[in-house]
Amino acid sequence: MAVFPLSEQYRRQLVDHLRAVIGIHTVDPLIFLESRVLAGYPDQSKRVLPQDGQTPFFDIFIRNLELSAWAARPPIIVTLMHAFEPFYDYTDDIKEILTEGPEQCHPQDQPYYVCRVLTQLPLIGRLDTRVASVDFELGLKSDNTEGKRVFRVFGPSKSGKTHTLKYFEYLAAVQPVKFGVVSIDLGNTEIVTQAAAAKIPIELFLAQNMEAQVNRRRGELSAQNAVPQGEFPDLRAIRLASPRPRVFKPLTEVQQRLRWSSELALEFVEKVIQLKPEPKLWILVFDNCEKASPEAKEFVRNLVTLAAGIASESGSVARADEGSLRIVLLGDSQELLPPAVYANHIAEEDLNQQSFGLDDLKQYFRVFSRCRVELDEPRIESLAAESMKRAQEIQANDPTVPEPKALADAVLEKSNALEAVAAQKGEANGN
């Protein structure tokens, strides 16, 4: 079975076939993966390739492909299976993956109540994040309700800030025409290095990087619309369907850099984000905001102004309210809020203040019951209590484990066990 989550046996098969095909081609594994598998996914390589020194390399790579299965379309694991040809035929497996679609971890009619944003990443609590995603859709013109356009999430290390990105990527996977997600890690030192190598300002590098992500997503949607139902576009079709890269206005006078940065942000919003009506909303997620260079911070500040509007200018606020730009700031982002920004368009979640109780765990298992394995209320209450106790044991054994991580590990143990039993019953019944 190639349906997510993959079985250990199937993961081992993929690892063995990957080793064999690389051996047949007698090429360096990294070169093979970058040229034959990841060439069409420039923004995903860092996420799925094992970090320096991580072993076993192939096992981690396959696991990362599974965990990020629907972060790109077609899934990278499908492109890997095509790379096995003609030595191994995965045609049926590919069709099975694409027929199943993203793993759904939400009740059919309530996507914002997702219980797991990745196969192995539960989302417990985080009410403000869920509410913000709903408020992103609201607007005075359409709903007579003032929505939110910028969402700040801040808190200590390992408190779950980055889980926010995975939450929005999940929403984009299950509602691809409604949400598009662009992500930039401002703490990635390679951004500065690559911008310097290209001899362009960091602001222009960020605009080009974000535009490439937008164009690819639009190419995916266009290519998908052009194939019969149940089929899927290949990478060449996506590339041909993607808009051409824009030639942004360059910086010609260093003395005018602040003004140019503002104009570049406006150009990006008007000529890239608002170029086409689909997806309906674009969510730009900036992680590690506190680590950005001064020039990058100024550029993001300009985008925040465009997303939220200026308090003293009603026209600016109205344009922001009706626009399709949404921004998520992760980390210490206070410096990225312009003084004159329209505060009513901004929402916040302070993870320093988050606390968890049995009710949060009960809610997790109620959602899990609605979308994964059916459970009655007494069983839900029992699982919540057992998970709380298990999380306390995890922290007692290792006091460095933060509470969110301990709870996530605990509910995952229970969830995986329940799904394994359900799978065994299904196989026994011939399903």
> Are both 138 and 90 inside the same structural domain?
no
With contact defined as beta carbons under 8 Å apart, do 136 and 307 qualify? no
Within a domain: 373 = yes
Task: Return left, alpha or beta for 288; rule: phi > 0 is left, psi -120 to 50 is alpha, else beta.
Answer: left
Percent of all residues in the chain with a pLDDT value above 90, rounded to a whole number: 64
Tokens 């997790």 correspond to 364
> Are both 401 and 346 inside the same structural domain?
no
> Are both 366 and 392 inside the same structural domain?
yes
Sign for the pseudo-dihedral over CA of 348, 352, 358, 362: positive
Residues 209 and 184: their CA atoms lie apart, in Å, by: 8
C-alpha distance from residue 417 to each of 22, 73, 118, 156 (Å):
35, 30, 17, 31
Q: At 53, is the secondary structure helix, strand, or coil?
A: coil
Number of structural domains in the chain: 3
Consecutive H or E run containing 16: helix 8-25
Which of 350, 376, 392 is the last residue before a domain boundary?
A: 350
With contact defined as beta carbons under 8 Å apart, do 267 and 256 qualify? no
- Output DSSP code: residue 214: H
> Are both 409 and 337 inside the same structural domain?
no
> Which burial class, exposed, middle or buried, applies to 295 when counting CB atoms under 10 A from its CB (0-12, 13-18, 19+)?
middle
Within a domain: 119 = no
Within a domain: 105 = no
Assess whether pLDDT exceeds 90 at residue 357.
yes
Average pLDDT of the residues of the chain: 89
With contact defined as beta carbons under 8 Å apart, do 274 and 323 qualify? yes
**Residue 364 — very low, low, confident or very high, per pLDDT cuts 50/70/90?**
very high
Within a domain: 144 = yes
> Are both 330 and 382 inside the same structural domain?
no
Of the candidates 117, 149, 114, 115, the one whose C-alpha atom is nearest the C-alpha of residue 135 is 149
What is the structure's pLDDT at 62?
A: 92
Average pLDDT over residues 207-234: 80
Percent of all residues in the chain with a pLDDT value above 70, rounded to a whole number: 92
Domain of 247 in residue numbering reads as 126-350
Outline where DSSP puts E strands in 150-243: 150-154, 179-185
> Are both 367 and 326 inside the same structural domain?
no
Within a domain: 106 = no
Residues 181 and 169: their CA atoms lie apart, in Å, by: 6
Assess whether pLDDT exceeds 80 at residue 224.
no
Which of 300, 317, 350 is the last residue before a domain boundary?
A: 350
> Are both 368 and 337 inside the same structural domain?
no
Tokens of 358: 């049995």
Tokens 């910028």 correspond to 150
Consecutive H or E run containing 330: strand 325-330
CB contact set of 366 (below 8 Å; sequence gap of 6+): 380
Tokens 């190419």 correspond to 219
Of the candidates 306, 287, 347, the one whose C-alpha atom is nearest the C-alpha of residue 135 is 347
> Are both 174 and 266 inside the same structural domain?
yes
Within a domain: 329 = yes
Assess whether pLDDT exceeds 70 at residue 428.
no
C-alpha distance from residue 97 to each of 1, 4, 125, 235 (Å):
9, 8, 30, 17
Within a domain: 118 = no
What is the structure's pLDDT at 2?
A: 46
Q: Which amino acid is at 204?
A: L
**Residue 99 — very low, low, confident or very high, per pLDDT cuts 50/70/90?**
confident
Of the candidates 54, 136, 117, the one whose C-alpha atom is nearest the C-alpha of residue 345 is 136
> Are both 262 and 297 inside the same structural domain?
yes
Assess whether pLDDT exceeds 50 at residue 389.
yes
Q: At 269, is the secondary structure helix, strand, or coil?
A: helix
With contact defined as beta carbons under 8 Å apart, do 149 and 307 qualify? yes
> Are both 322 and 248 inside the same structural domain?
yes
Within a domain: 154 = yes
**Residue 4 — very low, low, confident or very high, per pLDDT cuts 50/70/90?**
low
Assess whether pLDDT exceeds 60 at residue 416.
yes
282: domain CATH number is: 3.40.50
Consecutive H or E run containing 195: helix 189-198
Which of 328, 350, 372 is the last residue before a domain boundary?
A: 350
> Are both 171 and 188 inside the same structural domain?
yes
Beta bridge partners of 284: 182, 327
Burial letters for 246-255: b for 16+ Cβ neighbours within 10 Å, e otherwise?
Answer: bebeebeeee
Assess whether pLDDT exceeds 80 at residue 3.
no
> Are both 15 and 85 inside the same structural domain?
yes
